[in-house]
Chains A and B, each alone.
Chain A
C-alpha cells in the first residue's frame, strides 16, 4: 500500500530526477526526508510493481521514430491472456493492453503500440503480430496518430504542458 510519503516521492520525481550529483538527496531535502529513505521507498515501490522501471524515458518521435501506430485486434476472450502476453513481449511493442469491446462500433479487445522509422518498418511489425495471432485474429485495424494535442507524464498536482513527443 502506498502512503502519503510514497505519493509525494512519486509526484516529486514525475517530471524527472534532478540532474545533480546526488539527486535523491535533492528530492529528500524538498520533502523533509533523508536520501536513504527516498531510495528505500523507491526500491520498495519498484519491487511491488507500483514503479515499473526507473530510467531514461526516450522521446521516440525526436529520435526518428515518426511512425507510431496503435494496432487493435479482435481476439477470442479465452485466448487473450496467452496471446496478449506473447504480443507484449515483442521488442518493438511499447504498450500492450486488454480493453473492452464496444459492439457494434468497436470490436477490438487487444491494443498494441508499435513504433518505426519508416512505414515499411511498421508494416513489418504489424505482419509479425498478425503471424503470431494466426487464426485467433478475427479482425484488426491500425490507427496512426496524426497530431499530438497534449501529452504529459503522470501527475496529480503539477501543471500540464503540450508536447510533440509521441510515447512515454
Chain B
C-alpha cells in the first residue's frame, strides 16, 4: 500500500519543507528520484488521505484567540448538541470523548470579545454549560511525529 517513497515522504518531510523555487525538485534530488514522482506520490498520499496537507502549521493563539471547551451533555442530546456546535464556523475541532465531559471542541475567534460572544451563543443555543480551558503555555517542540510504518 505504502511504497518506500511514500514512507520517506511521510516521515522525513514533516518539517523543513524546502523554501525554494522548486521544493519538490529539491526533495527529489535528496531522495534520488524525479520531481514528478515526488509530486505524484504526494498526490497519492493526499487522495488517500494519508496526509491532510503539506504546508505551514500554525501553533494555537498566534493568530486570533482560541480556547478548548468541554461540555457534559446528556447522552441522548449529544448528537443534536454536537451538530449545533459544529455548525459554528469558529469551531474547528469537535470530538466526542468517553468521559462525563463528553464533548470537546476548540473555538477560534479574531479577538477576545468575539470568542466570548460565540461561547455565550453556544451556551444559549444548546442550554448546556461550557468549561473553558484556554491555553496557558505550550510545551510542545514540534519536529513532526515519528511514524511507525513498518507493519503496513
Is A150 among interface residues, defined by CB-CB distance under 8 A?
yes
Closest Cβ of chain A to B80, distance in Å, is 12
What residues of A have a CB within 8 angstroms of the CB of B92 in the complex? 150-155, 160
Query: Does A105 make an interface contact (CB < 8 A)?
Result: yes
Question: Taking the nearest CB of chain B, how far is it from the CB of A2, in angstroms?
Answer: 7
Whether A23 is near chain B, meaning CB under 8 Å from some CB there, is yes
A53: contacting residue among B14, B62, B68, CB under 8 A? B14
Q: A residues within 8 Å of B by Cβ?
A: 2, 7, 10, 13-17, 19-25, 35, 39, 42-43, 45-46, 49-60, 62-65, 70, 80-81, 84-85, 87-89, 91-100, 102, 105-106, 111, 115, 117, 141, 143-156, 159-160, 162-163, 165, 167-168
CA distance A65 to B50 in the complex (A): 11
B interface, size bucket: 35 or more
Report the nearest A residue to B53, measured CB to CB.
Answer: A16
Given the interface contacts A96-B138, A149-B86, does A62 sit within 8 Å of B48 by beta carbon? yes
Whether the Cβ atoms of A150 and B51 lie closer than 8 Å is: no
* Closest Cβ neighbor of A115 among chain B residues: B145
**Residues of A contacting B94 in the complex (Cβ-Cβ under 8 angstroms):** 148-151
The closest CB in chain B to the CB of A68 belongs to B95
Bound CA span A64–B89, Å:
29
Q: A56-B9, A56-B51, A98-B137 are in contact. Are A51 and B57 (CB under 8 A)?
A: yes
Q: Given A88-B141, A93-B140, A97-B137 in contact, is the A106-B131 Cβ separation under 8 Å?
A: yes
Interchain CB contact under 8 A, B63 and A2:
yes
Q: In the assembly, what is the distance between CA of A156 and CA of B65, in Å?
A: 12
Contact string, B16-32, partner A, CB cutoff 8 A, digits 1/0? 11011111110000000
